[in-house]
Amino acid sequence: MEPFEKEIRARGFRLVAGLDEAGRGPLAGPVVAAAVILPPRARLSGVDDSKKLSPKQREEAFALLQEKASAIGIGIVEAGEIDQMNIHQASLRAMEKAVAELPVVPDFLFIDGLHTLNLSLPQKAIVKGDQKCLSIAAASVVAKVTRDRIMTAYHEEYPEYNFVRHKGYGTKEHFQAIEKYGCCPLHRQSFRRIYQLTLL
């Protein structure tokens, strides 16, 4: 899963960052992006598209990346900002923040999806990049684990929604909690089903 990195390094780029986000679909909580720079020929057994991994496997891959990655940056856009700019723009903004949080300036970006970022860096968007590009897969793991930990922490503050179980996604249990308790500050008011429920 390294052909993209090998090709771009052969063209002279050295600090290659993969970017991905977690949390586009939930009704509550932030969207979280990660930027990950991997060293050449890193041994990263178990690192894959986060959606293919169990929670335990993701945690193991996350720990490995914390040890092996050359650099990691995290970008977070909260629910209120998502409502202001929409989830698509918020996801791109989170990725831009993740790049800014890297301790070094990358010289090339691989981005999961269709869209590049508003940054003056060479970059390439790759559809389903988390399945094709190792650095993007690494970013998907870091973003997912980081967001899950954030939502688990929020469970302590808002236990009535049981965020520890569904992480803010639109499960039956979550909708029932919204119907019973209303929305909390973590809920994305711009998401249509949330808005409909608040009118009930």
The pLDDT value recorded for residue 42 is 80
The model's pLDDT over 86-106, given as tens digits with 9 standing for 90+, comes to: 999 999 999 999 999 999 999
The model's pLDDT over 12-27, given as tens digits with 9 standing for 90+, comes to: 999 999 999 999 999 9
The pLDDT value recorded for residue 13 is 95
The model's pLDDT over 45-86, given as tens digits with 9 standing for 90+, comes to: 888 889 899 999 999 999 999 999 999 999 999 999 999 999
Rounded CA gap, 50 and 12, in Å? 29
Q: Is 96 left (phi over 0), alpha (psi -120 to 50) or beta?
A: alpha
**Structural contact between residues 77 and 94, judged by C-beta atoms closer than 8 angstroms:** yes
The DSSP code sequence of the chain is --HHHHHHHHTT---EEEEEEE-SS-SBS-EEEEEEEPPTT---TT---GGGS-HHHHHHHHHHHHHH-SEEEEEEE-HHHHHHH-HHHHHHHHHHHHHHHSSS--SEEEEESS---SSSS-EEEETTHHHH-HHHHHHHHHHHHHHHHHHHHHHHH-GGG-HHHHTT---HHHHHHHHHH---TTB-TTSHHHHHHHT-
The whole-model pTM stands at: 0.94
- For the chain, domains (ranges, CATH) are 3-198 (3.30.420.10)
For residue 162, pLDDT beyond 90: yes
The two beta strands, 31-37 and 16-22, are: antiparallel
Task: Choose among 103, 96, 101: nearest CA to 111.
Answer: 96
For residue 124, pLDDT beyond 90: yes
